[in-house]
Chain A
Amino acid sequence: MPTEKFVIPIGPQHPALKEPGHFEFNVDGEVVKAASVRLGYVHRGIEKGCETRNYVQAAYLVERICGICSHVHATAFSLGVERLADVEAPPRAQAIRQIVAELERIHSHLLWVGVAAHEAGFDTLFMYSWRDRETVMNLLEGITGNRVNYSANVLGGVKCDIGPEQAEVILEGLRFLEERTRHYLEVVSTDAVFLRRTRGIGVMTRDDAERLGVVGPTARASGVPRDVRVDAPYLLYREHPVELIVEQAGDLEARFKVRVRELFESFRVIRELLAALPDGDLTTRMPRRIKPAETVSRIEAPRGELFYFIKSNGSDTAERVKVRTPTLPNMASVVVTAVGHQLADVPMILAGIDPCFSCNDRMAVVRQGGEAEVWTWERLRQYGIEHYR
């Protein structure tokens, strides 16, 4: 009897927080044989939009590319436009940009720990990490006035200062978060039930990681020493560097460890910056029109290298703004690493690269030539949990 094959479409409303995507998994019994991806469900034409809005307006637009790591977009854009205009933001502004960037990384990584734990059926960890994430959200709101889309940047500097009282509040928040993070590191590296869902699952070798061009924690968990903050320091990462965190195993456990271990570097560098916050202005004067030139601006976002290419044409509006977000190269790795795994591991492998999830996802199981059966994302998640029970 010929083996029946199933095509399992997941999505498109799947990782709907930032980038909903549609995946098709070809399964033979329980085992994934092939996978493909279709993106674009929240494509808003922002690159095109930047060609009809001046630099100040475009800065607001790019901050809204991602609701989780909005600051990195505004920072990459601002640094690029400033370079085109031969303007450098004052040191105090650069320090504040870096502090907000690292706070954003803490919020993003804690969010991810929660989402990935939820996919594994570990809802206690999900609840705790999201409760603790409120602390860093409050710190970001205290500095910028916003929990998301902080709008800390203006072209030529920042619009919010950090005074001594604010610094004390941040330090107190960091003390609490660091203690909690130590606990999370212990949980993700010792909890026997959790390790069954992460150890040896979704392995990507260093060769594969390099061949696929993955970036960020996904690359570093496979032993690839790649971090823009270290490789091509921007802001004050040269004066106040972070240590490159690398794990060798390349599995989900390694991806958990890299992200959680990185948090300690974020805590440390924020403290260092607060202790050595340079005096001076928050902004410097920016010209409205910018001479024709091209620049490349790269930032280490929480999910990996964020790439901007900006071309100016002498006017107050960019000729071209190209954005390559870290999820795009990392998504390619899902398609490869899912092959050969149990269908029950798919939720965790997808979560492993830290795309953005939402609960309203839908999934359909289609029997080729037969009747279609619709699965919700919740049902696939539950299926994964039952499988490992």
Chain B
Amino acid sequence: MSTETCLQTAASLLAAWAQETTGPEPGRADVVIASGDLIAAAGALIDARWGYLTAITGLDLGPDDGRLEVLYHFACGAAIVTFRVRVPREGAAVPSLVSVIPSVSFYERELMEMFGVTVEGTPNTDKLFLPEDWPDGVYPLRKDFSMEQLNGQGGG
């Protein structure tokens, strides 16, 4: 399947949930998806055997913007389709994809500890990369993280 065909197939599979679609680069499509539609949209790609989930990127838009973005990158050949799920920084939460992609657990654990995004329904909420004594509520890849948050708390 050519890259163009891959992207067209994905666009038609995702039509029901895509709030906005952009093409940031050749071979890529960014699709804004509501967090409530995430499982259905991912399921549509997986059921059609459209590629695989290659990574989840957390993106903090900063305290001024007040939102986080969770990017789900799916790859099919040279084509990359990215779901952009926007959630508020306060009480950030997305549903777990483990029901459609059983191996997603590692990526979700990383997202939880680094960005403080609650992944609802994920089977394992243990730390994956951070130390056990890392302080609660401190998320190192958020933009307002500072080393002071670790001082005096026995963490880090």
| Residue pair A43, B129 in contact (C-beta under 8 Å) | yes
| Residue pair B129, A322 in contact (C-beta under 8 Å) | no
| Closest beta carbon of chain A to B112's beta carbon, Å | 13
| Residue pair B129, A324 in contact (C-beta under 8 Å) | no
Q: Does A36 contact B (CB under 8 A)?
A: yes
Given contacts A213-B101, A309-B73, A320-B59, contact A38 B25 (CB under 8 A): no
| Residue pair A307, B140 in contact (C-beta under 8 Å) | no
| Residue pair B24, A294 in contact (C-beta under 8 Å) | yes
Bound Cα distance A206, B145 (Å) = 42
Q: Does B9 contact A (CB under 8 A)?
A: no
Q: Does A125 contact B (CB under 8 A)?
A: no
Q: Does A271 contact B (CB under 8 A)?
A: no
| Residue pair A296, B127 in contact (C-beta under 8 Å) | no
Bound Cα distance A295, B80 (Å) = 11
Q: Does B138 contact A (CB under 8 A)?
A: no
Given contacts A213-B53, A232-B27, A298-B75, contact A38 B102 (CB under 8 A): no
Q: Does A316 contact B (CB under 8 A)?
A: no
Bound Cα distance A47, B145 (Å) = 13
Q: Does A241 contact B (CB under 8 A)?
A: no
Residue of chain B at shortest CB distance from A210: B52
Q: Across the interface, which residues of A come within 8 angstroms of B24, CB to CB?
A: 293-295
Bound Cα distance A334, B106 (Å) = 13
Q: Does A62 contact B (CB under 8 A)?
A: no
Q: Does A305 contact B (CB under 8 A)?
A: yes
Q: A212 contacts which of B103, B126, B141 (Cβ < 8 Å)?
A: B103
| Residue pair B106, A45 in contact (C-beta under 8 Å) | no
Q: Does B77 contact A (CB under 8 A)?
A: yes
| Closest beta carbon of chain B to A296's beta carbon, Å | 5
Q: Across the interface, which residues of B come within 8 angstroms of A385, CB to CB?
A: none
Task: Enumerate A18-51 residues with CB–CB distance to B below 8 Å.
Answer: 36-40, 43, 45, 47-48
Bound Cα distance A1, B46 (Å) = 45
| Residue pair B59, A83 in contact (C-beta under 8 Å) | no
Q: Does B28 contact A (CB under 8 A)?
A: yes
Task: Enumerate B60-82 residues with CB–CB distance to A below 8 Å.
Answer: 60, 71, 73, 75, 77-78, 80, 82
How many residues of chain A are within 8 Å of chain B by beta carbon?
Answer: 33
| Residue pair B130, A43 in contact (C-beta under 8 Å) | yes
Q: Across the interface, which residues of A come within 8 angstroms of B130, CB to CB?
A: 40, 43
| Closest beta carbon of chain B to A324's beta carbon, Å | 4
Interface size class of B (residues with CB under 8 A): 35 or more
| Residue pair B129, A39 in contact (C-beta under 8 Å) | yes
Given contacts A231-B78, A307-B73, A329-B103, contact A40 B59 (CB under 8 A): no
Q: Across the interface, which residues of A come within 8 angstroms of B59, CB to CB?
A: 311, 320
Q: B106 contacts which of A47, A296, A331 (Cβ < 8 Å)?
A: A331
| Closest beta carbon of chain A to B10's beta carbon, Å | 15
Q: Does B16 contact A (CB under 8 A)?
A: no
| Residue pair A38, B127 in contact (C-beta under 8 Å) | yes
| Closest beta carbon of chain B to A223's beta carbon, Å | 15
Residue of chain A at shortest CB distance from B143: A51
| Closest beta carbon of chain A to B87's beta carbon, Å | 16
| Residue pair B73, A232 in contact (C-beta under 8 Å) | no
Q: Across the interface, which residues of A come within 8 angstroms of B19, CB to CB?
A: none
| Residue pair A322, B105 in contact (C-beta under 8 Å) | no
| Closest beta carbon of chain B to A220's beta carbon, Å | 14
Residue of chain A at shortest CB distance from B124: A36
| Residue pair B55, A324 in contact (C-beta under 8 Å) | yes
| Closest beta carbon of chain A to B19's beta carbon, Å | 18
Bound Cα distance A294, B27 (Å) = 13
| Residue pair A40, B131 in contact (C-beta under 8 Å) | yes
Residue of chain A at shortest CB distance from B76: A231
Task: Enumerate A265-319 residues with CB–CB distance to B below 8 Å.
Answer: 293-296, 298, 305, 307, 309, 311
The listed residue with most B CB atoms (<10 A of its CB), out of A37, A307, A309, A328, is A309
Residue of chain B at shortest CB distance from A320: B59
Further pairs besides A324-B54, A329-B103: 10, Cβ < 8 Å: A40-B128, A43-B130, A232-B77, A232-B78, A233-B78, A307-B54, A320-B59, A322-B57, A328-B107, A332-B106
| Residues of B in contact with A (beta carbons under 8 Å apart) | 24-25, 27-28, 49, 52-55, 57-60, 71, 73, 75, 77-78, 80, 82, 101-103, 105-107, 124, 126-131, 140-141, 145
